[in-house]
Amino acid sequence: MLLNPKILDVIACPICKGKLHYDKQGQVLICKFHKLSFPIKNGVPIMQIQQAKSLFINSTNLVEKH
């Protein structure tokens, strides 16, 4: 199930309250400021900080740390 794009108008990073970016392929919401990705499960964003994954910048792309 895909995320409803209208939710991006009202949802924010739980840490900085900043704008989140939707990665449709990875099914995650990304906070570029904190370099975190929040998973989307069955169309529902999981915004718990404990569920977030750290990202690093590879050229111009954000990639999950392994």
pLDDT in tens, 3-25: 888 999 999 999 999 999 999 99
How far apart CA 46 and CA 54 sit, in angstroms, is 15
Q: Which residue has the tokens 């970016």?
A: 21
How far apart CA 13 and CA 37 sit, in angstroms, is 10
Is residue 31 pLDDT above 90, yes or no? yes
State residue 53's pLDDT score.
95
**Residue ranges of domains in the chain, CATH in brackets:** 19-52 (2.20.25.10)
